[in-house]
């Protein structure tokens, strides 16, 4: 995540809180009640985001993990393509021998 992304997310959260406050105040709530409910809305949104983040970490479904997996597969594929037919046959024989054990 870039530094500008953090600022944008912070501004969006701030704007959601302000907009929620104004909507609730316009709906007829007094300032204190509108402030409490808008804070509750923000806390709920942040907790939902945090929960989704923790879920993605627990299931290893994050961008970095996926990029690392794709890179490792590409490196292995390139190494496999660079093998000579003799080396490939030797590797296949070793794999079959390990499966047999």
pLDDT band at 2 (very low <50, low <70, confident <90, very high): confident
Residue ranges in the chain assigned as alpha helix (H): 3-26, 31-58, 63-82, 85-100
- How does pLDDT run across 72-95, given as a tens digit for each residue? 999 999 998 898 989 888 988 998
Do 48 and 81 belong together in one domain?
no
pLDDT for residue 62: 83
pLDDT band at 24 (very low <50, low <70, confident <90, very high): very high
Please count the structural domains in the chain.
2
For residue 24, count other CB atoms closer than 10 A to its CB.
19
Do 4 and 19 belong together in one domain?
yes
Parent domain of 87: 62-100
Q: Is the pLDDT of residue 49 over 90?
A: no
pLDDT for residue 50: 93
pLDDT for residue 32: 93
């Amino acid at each position: 995540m870039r530094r500008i992304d953090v600022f944008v997310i912070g501004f969006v959260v701030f704007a959601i809180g302000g907009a929620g406050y104004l909507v609730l105040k316009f709906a007829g709530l007094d300032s204190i009640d509108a402030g409490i409910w808008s804070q509750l809305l923000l806390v709920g949104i942040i907790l939902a985001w945090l929960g989704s983040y923790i879920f993605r970490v627990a299931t290893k479904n994050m961008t970095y993990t996926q990029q690392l997996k794709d890179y490792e597969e590409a490196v292995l594929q390139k190494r496999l393509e660079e093998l000579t037919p003799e080396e490939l046959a030797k590797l296949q024989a070793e794999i079959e021998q390990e499966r047999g054990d």
